[in-house]
Every structure is written in C-alpha cells, then in structure tokens.
Structure 1
Amino acid sequence: MIKRILFLLSIVIIISCSGDDHSNRHVTEETQKFYKGMDLSFQSELDSYNIQYKDQNNNAIDLLDYVTSKGSNLIRLRLWHTPEGGFNSLEKVKQYALKIKSTGADFLLDIHYSDTWADPANQEPPLFWSTLTNSEIKNAIYEYTKKVISELKEQGTTPTIVQIGNETNSGFLWDYGKIWNEFDNNWLQYIALSNTAEKAVKEIDPNIKTMIHVAGINFARFFFKKFEESGGNYDIIGLSYYPQFHSKNLNQIKNDLSFLAVTFNKNILLTEISYPFTFNWNDNLNNFIGDQSQILNEFPATPDGQKDYLEWIIKTLKEIPNNKGLGFCYWAPDWVAFEGNENTYSNGSSWENQCIFDFEHKVLKVIEVFSSD
C-alpha cells in the first residue's frame, strides 16, 4: 500500500512539473535518479584526433551517443577560465553541452576557477585575476559565474549540477581562498568566495544543485564539518575516490559514506572514480597505475575486475542510509592512447589502462554495468 501511494505521488509530481523546463533535468527529493555518469572533458581535445571508438562487436560508434544509450545518464565537463589551446574553455563546454542535451543525459558542470588543472595541490587563479584585491576577486567570481550559467541557460543547456571548484580540500583561488598550512585560519574568506559563486548560480536558476567537491572520503568528515560551521552553502557532497590515494579498506569506505550521509543530510556523488583493466600500457607516457600495490586486492586489474569494482561502487552507494547515494561519475573513460603532437601528452595518455575501452579502442565489459538496474 505504501509503495502504491509513493508511486501515485511520483506521477502527480511528474504531471505537475510537465510544463517546467527543468522537470526532466533537475534532481528533486521526490524524483531523485541514480546517476551512472562519465566525465568526458577530454573530448574537448580528443575529438580533433578522430579517434574511432568501437562497441563490443567492433562496430564504430559515436562516443557520446553510445555511452548514453548504454545507460550513462550524467555527463561531467570541466571548465577552465582562459586555457592555453582553448581546451575546456566556455565555448568548448557550450558546444559539447548541446550534444549532451540531444542525448537526454543530465549535465554536471565542473568550474575549476583556474586556467588549468585545479586539485588539492594546485589552485592557481586565472591569470586575469591574479592581481585583484580580496573585494575584487569576490566580484570577479560573481560576474564570471553568472556569465557562465547565463550563457548555458540561454542556449537551453542549463546544468543539472554545478560544481564550485575542483577538489577543494585546500580551498581554491590561492591565496585568496586558501585553507591550507599557513592559511588554516582563512576558512571564512574561502567560504565567502565559495558562497559568492553559489549565490550567482542560484540567481540564474534556483533549481540548479550546487556541489562542493573534495578528494578523499575520510577527509570529507573534517572538511564538511568545517565548511558548514563556517557558513558554507551547497546541496551535494562530491567526492573523489581513488584507492591508491585515499583508502583500500572497503569497510572503512562504507562507514565513512554512512557517516557523511547521516551527519550532513546531503546527497553524495562519487564525482571521480576509475579502475584499471590491466597494468600494461599502450604508449610511451607513464601511467598513474602500474602495479598491484596501487589497487584493491579484492578486484584484480582485469576487465572482469574493473567491472566487479564498479558493481561494488554501485552497491555501496545504494546502501548509504536515507537514500543519500546519488551515484558516481567515471573519470576519463575515453582518455585512450592516441597520436597527437609534441605538445599533447607526449603523444599519449597516462590513463589508457583505466579507460572503459581497450587498447584497440573496443569497449570493455564494464559498460554492461551502466545499463544494469
């Protein structure tokens, strides 16, 4: 009887929202979907090399159409302010966002607030902002964020989720919003900047969910406690989980995720995950993972092990208390080895053994997990 009532309620909600542009795009408590996402940010660059991806029968495929047809329902794109070479620029993001919209998948925008990679050890502000005062940087964040979201909305590709900074364990926009080492007491300044970005997003569209993203599940206990105590605003907890960096204790991972869900009452998205299908390589560039010490004993570096690992991730997320497991995003499943020029990753990839495509660019069996219940 209860299930029947909940079903009828969900139908009422869908019908009442049918005239709203956001009804099929935005996450709500009543219609929350489970995300099986992919970060396809490298397509901004790889698309120009005409890499031929293949399905399990060796047939040529269009990457985005294929992965979304197989169940990937969230696509993440990173945005750099003024990137060298133009990759991951707003213009490139807007172009790919139109492709995402055509598939019906949801769109996660990852704003790095940098001209290049932002992570716990690197949070360089855009060059154009590097000499601004504290008040000027706050205004720059506000105006830039509003511009980005406005332009995406105007072309009909409003993001479902907007990520305010990338792996912000140490804050962002150093030293303005740095919260690491000698800047441990700078939390209020960091929060002021983060909240300014959040405000800009919500002013353009209050239905957009904002996410704060950090690397490491255990570290998130400390971070989000400080974030909320300091007055930080956000909707979703975003986490990177790479066993070689964060933890190999599967029970601890489960416990930490449960703790976060119960303590902060927020949906949790594993924003970056991946796993190797081999320790071999397909180019001359060193890979991030190359031996057993870097992975989990429970899941070997084989196509089956990669698939089993992702199935474990999904099972773990769905067991998070109070239905707070929002899903995952597989990072760079497409970053295969390729022939580039001398300025492009030494003609290769440091990730090809963690892709969902083998060295012949044929999709691996892990793709089956995306279409499973």
Structure 2
Amino acid sequence: MRRRTMLAAAAAAPVAAVATPSAASAANPRPRRRLAVRGADVSTLAKNEDFGAVYRRADGRRADALTILREHDVNVARLKVWVNPADGYNTKAKVLRMAARAKARGMRLFIDFHYSDAWADPGKQHKPAAWATYAFEELKAAVRDHTYDVLHALHRQGTPADFVQIGNEINGGLLWPDGRWDNWPNLAALLTAGATVAKAVSNRTRVVLHLAEGGNNGGHRWWFDNATALGVPFDVIAVSHYLYWHGTAESLRANLVDLSARYGKDVLVAETAYGFTTEEDDPTPQIFTADLAAAGGHPATPRGQADALRAICDVVASVPRGLGVVYWEPTWTAVPGAGWDPADPTSGNGWENQALFDFDGRALPALDVFRTR
C-alpha cells in the first residue's frame, strides 16, 4: 500500500511541470504539424477488463479505458490478431468486438497480423499449430484465407481496417522456416499474399510492413531493398523504437528520413513505450529496469515517461513523411489472470510499469503528450 501511495504522489506531482515548457522543450519547440496517427496498441485491454482491471482519469474518476484514451486525442487503436491462441483472446471474434468499440469512439483501426498462435517478434516467428505441416503453397493459401477472413468480417461489420500490418517485427521473416530471412522468394510470396488480399477487401486500407530496431538503418535498407526488388506491395514502413533497446531518438530520426526518401513511403513508429517507475505491481519481474532507464536516457518517473514519449513523437513529426506514433500496450496493467502467456493462466505481467495508467489505474501525464503532438 505504501508503494502505491508513493507512486500516486509521484504521478500527481509532475502534472504542472509537464504543462509548463521546460528548458529542453524551449530549445526544441513543439512541431507545428500534428501527427496524423496518435495511436495505442490495446490488444490486451479486453482480457485485462475481463479479469477485473479498472481505469481512471487523472482525477480518480472511473471510466472506460478507450474513452480516456480518446479524451487525450488518441485516434488510432492497434489490435493484434492470433490464429488459435490458447486463451481465446486476440482472435477474430475478440478483435471484431474491440474494433466496434474503437470505431464507436471515432478511432481508426490498425490490425496487426502475427500469423501465429502467440507472440511473434524478431526472436520467434512460430507457425500456428494448425498450419505446422502445410507445404509452402498451402501455407501461402492459409495466409490469404486468414487475412481475408478477419478483414472481410471487419468490413462487413462496418468497422474496416484503416491500416493492416502483414506480420509483426519481421526483421527475420515470418512463418519459420519457410518464410525466414534467408529465403527471400518465399518471404516475399507470403507478404504479397497477405498484402494483396488486404487491398482486395478494401483498396483504402494501407498495408504496413513492420520491423523492430528503429535506428538500424543498414539492416532496414537490406530488408526493404529485398522486399522492393521482389515486388512486395506496401504503403507504409513501420518500426518499433524503444529508446532503452534501439538507440537514441536521433538514430530513429536519421533512419526514418532515409527510409521514407529511399522508398518513397510514409513512415511511422508502430511500437514504443517507457517506464514511469522501476517498481512492480505483481510478482513477475519487470522488463523495464533501472539499467534500461539509464540506457534510455530518461528517469523512471511519470515525467520521464512523458519526456521519452514526447521525444519519439517530435522525431516522427520532424520527418517530412512521418505519420505518427503508436504506444504499445498502455492499458496493460497488472491483473491476476491477464498475464503474458496465453497458455499459462498463472503467468504475470512484466509490462505494468510501462503502462500509461499507474498501479491504481489512474491516467499518467504521458497521455497528455498526445494532446499536443
């Protein structure tokens, strides 16, 4: 209880400071151009709510989490899609319900296909169990059918996807081993299958290709040179950039400027986050630690979190074709039963100190960044 009280006091204290321009913000004035995409990945929200999560405005009043986000000018909801997850969340049915809630609040929809039954990222791109024995042509058909099934259902519901991401953090490819980085013809064929059907459902949908390591210009050039040489269709280049893992804001800026000019595409940060504390609200160790705060260059405080998000937003706004920023899992607070592992109901949450709601469920000052960026 004492820990919660201390954190509540810390969260309240920086509010006035954030509203007053600092020396840093005076030296780097606010960009005049607002970000078109001010997003939040709320993929875990439905599960959190089902297990009892409560969300509050900064003044303590309870409210729907999406409503609070929208009140802070968040205008895009990102939702991941898994194929047959063990916990039954992030399925087509769950995504349809969340999409309806987001669209009802005037938010655009960003669908993130993992093409897996669980997490897909640079270190793992496991096939769904149901696709494990497929030959390559069957696998390509499964990508087409799954992508069409979800997107057509969203379109039929009246909540079409505005952005569709074909694979998640696919630096090393997807659906290993068939679509791994060292087999570019296969990888390109799988990406093209998903992208083509996304456009077939709605030509207004913007196809996104998403890599991690937002400051890795050499790696990104190699990847997109291969993709474009093999004719993979896409509209937007997206990156993940966590300051404590992927380098400085300046390295992100340099990469985005180069990528947008080299390939003639809009660019966005599809994932970023930062901690407001190094403490934890459940027994599972936190990903964000004091060492990562030191690496990220901002203190692990509510104001430090806000400054880190502001730095990312200002970088993207400074890029001529910078679309915007999506904060990853701002509503994933610690609730027993809503842990990280869909196959293990006892798993905890290693992310709650990077949410945009504190350990009492109150909105943190970092949310105000979206009102001004």
* Corresponding residue SS for 1:371: helix
1:239 maps to which residue? 239
> After the TM superposition, which residues 188-337 of structure 1 pair with which residues of structure 2 at under 5 Å, given as runs?
188-217=185-214, 218=216, 219-247=219-247, 249-296=248-295, 298-320=297-319, 323-337=320-334
* Corresponding residue SS for 1:193: helix
Q: Is the 8 A contact 2:250 2:315 kept in 1?
A: no
Per-residue deviation, 1:142: 1.3
Q: Is the 8 A contact 1:97 1:107 kept in 2?
A: yes
2:170 maps to which residue? 168
Give a deviation string over 1:281-324, Cα, whole Å, max 9, x none. Answer: 1111011111134544642111111111111111111111xx31
2:71 maps to which residue? 69
Instruction: Tell me how large the CA RMSD over aligned residues is.
Output: 1.9
2:327 and 2:278 mapped to 1: Cα distance?
A: 19
1:293 and 1:75 mapped to 2: Cα distance?
A: 27
- Amino acid of the structure 2 residue aligned with 1:340: G
Against the structure 1 CA distance between its residues 297 and 40, is the aligned structure 2 distance closer, same or farther, given a 3 Å change threshold?
Answer: closer
- Amino acid of the structure 2 residue aligned with 1:349: N
1:367 maps to which residue? 367
Relative contact order higher in (CA < 8 Å, ≥ 6 apart): 2
Listed as ranges, the gaps of 5+ residues in structure 1 are: 1-31
Q: Is the 8 A contact 1:221 1:256 kept in 2?
A: no
- Amino acid of the structure 2 residue aligned with 1:362: R
* Corresponding residue SS for 2:207: strand
- Amino acid of the structure 2 residue aligned with 1:167: E
- Stretch deviating more after TM superposition (293-302 or 217-226): 293-302
Per-residue deviation, 1:227: 1.5
Identity over aligned pairs, percent:
32
Give a deviation string over 1:250-273, Cα, whole Å, max 9, x none. Answer: 332221121112111111110000
Against the structure 1 CA distance between its residues 348 and 139, is the aligned structure 2 distance closer, same or farther, given a 3 Å change threshold?
Answer: closer
* Corresponding residue SS for 2:372: coil
1:293 and 1:152 mapped to 2: Cα distance?
A: 38
2:294 and 2:203 mapped to 1: Cα distance?
A: 40
Against the structure 1 CA distance between its residues 359 and 202, is the aligned structure 2 distance closer, same or farther, given a 3 Å change threshold?
Answer: same
* Corresponding residue SS for 1:85: coil
1:349 and 1:163 mapped to 2: Cα distance?
A: 25
* Corresponding residue SS for 2:308: helix
1:318 and 1:140 mapped to 2: Cα distance?
A: 38
Per-residue deviation, 1:344: 5.4
Q: Is the 8 A contact 1:275 1:309 kept in 2?
A: yes
2:98 maps to which residue? 96
Give a deviation string over 1:36-91, Cα, whole Å, max 9, x none. Answer: 10000001311212211111111111101111122000000000011112011110
2:135 and 2:184 mapped to 1: Cα distance?
A: 17
2:231 and 2:294 mapped to 1: Cα distance?
A: 37
- Amino acid of the structure 2 residue aligned with 1:326: L
Give a deviation string over 1:215-234, Cα, whole Å, max 9, x none. Answer: 01213232212221222111
Q: Is the 8 A contact 1:243 1:295 kept in 2?
A: no
Give a deviation string over 1:126-173, Cα, whole Å, max 9, x none. Answer: 111111111111112112211111111000010100000111111111
Q: Is the 8 A contact 2:164 2:205 kept in 1?
A: yes
* Corresponding residue SS for 2:246: coil
Q: Is the 8 A contact 1:123 1:174 kept in 2?
A: yes
Q: Does 1:354 align with 2:351?
A: no
Q: Is the 8 A contact 1:176 1:189 kept in 2?
A: yes
2:153 maps to which residue? 151
> After the TM superposition, which residues 10-89 of structure 1 pair with which residues of structure 2 at under 5 Å, given as runs?
34-89=36-91
2:255 and 2:77 mapped to 1: Cα distance?
A: 26
Counting matched residue pairs gives: 335
Report the TM-score, using the length of structure 2 for normalisation.
Answer: 0.86
Listed as ranges, the gaps of 5+ residues in structure 2 are: 1-33
1:262 and 1:256 mapped to 2: Cα distance?
A: 10
1:132 and 1:273 mapped to 2: Cα distance?
A: 34
Against the structure 1 CA distance between its residues 341 and 204, is the aligned structure 2 distance closer, same or farther, given a 3 Å change threshold?
Answer: closer
Against the structure 1 CA distance between its residues 33 and 310, is the aligned structure 2 distance closer, same or farther, given a 3 Å change threshold?
Answer: closer
2:241 and 2:231 mapped to 1: Cα distance?
A: 26
Q: Is the 8 A contact 1:338 1:347 kept in 2?
A: no
